[in-house]
Structure 1
Amino acid sequence: MIIRSAVLEGHVAPGDQEAFDHSMRTHVLPAIRSYPRLRDVRLRKLAVPEAGAPDVYMIFDLYFDSLADMDAALASETRQVVRKAIAENMAAFQGRVYHLVFNEDT
């Protein structure tokens, strides 16, 4: 199993968090779910940070059966639609977004 994690490292102003989180759940997650060959997507929001840990606000985990499936999804036309949906909903987020790809042995 391949997991591509999109890490949102930064913050959302306290007054904007509820609307931002709702937007991620109701607009961005459904857009991501449209990726071809995607097995699952999960959204995780930090509950309790460890002292000295990076300022991670939330993580999207995209699950694929293989690197080839992930690459096909990222090369698809669907990705451009998804990227647009993400961009339209990120105004309240201050920080950086980066990706990590994990190989999960089950």
Structure 2
Amino acid sequence: MYIRCAFFRGHVKPGCQEAFDSHIQEHLVTLWTRFPHVLEVRVLREVESDSADTHLEMVLAMRFPSREAIAEALASTTRYESREASKRLFELFDGDVFHTVFSADQFPLPAEG
């Protein structure tokens, strides 16, 4: 499995947190969950960190079954709709955004008892 993440490194502009959060919920989540082949969408918000140098305001993590599935999702009309709708987030955000694709292994937890 593969996970494509968008890292929002920086901070929401002062006084814009409510608008930032509302835009995600009202406009972007519905698009992100419609990407072709996406198996899971998670929006992660930093609560604490052991690094004072970097603040990740948000990480968008999308799980896909294959690299080919990611390529199809990135070529889809949904992606272009999402990019257009994301422009509002960038107006409310002071920082940069970068993307990383991870290969992900999943391991079962040991049975209790």
- 1:42 paired residue number: 42
- 2:32 paired residue number: 32
Greater fraction strand: 1
- 1:19 paired residue number: 19
TM (norm. structure 2) is 0.86
- 1:92 paired residue number: 92
CA-to-aligned-CA distance 1:50-102 (integer Å, 9 cap, x gap): 23341211100011011110111001122111111111333110110000111
Structure 1, unpaired ranges of 5+: none
Aligned partners of 2:53, 2:39: CA distance in 1, in Å?
Answer: 30
- 2:66 paired residue number: 66
SS in 2 for 1:96: strand
Letter in 1 for 2:18: E
Aligned partners of 1:24, 1:79: CA distance in 2, in Å?
Answer: 15
Give RMSD over aligned pairs: 1.3
Letter in 2 for 1:64: F
Letter in 2 for 1:66: S
Aligned partners of 2:53, 2:47: CA distance in 1, in Å?
Answer: 13
Letter in 2 for 1:47: V
TM (norm. structure 1) is 0.91
Aligned partners of 2:89, 2:12: CA distance in 1, in Å?
Answer: 12
By how many angstroms is 1:14 displaced? 3.8
SS in 2 for 1:29: helix
Aligned partners of 2:51, 2:89: CA distance in 1, in Å?
Answer: 29
Letter in 2 for 1:92: L
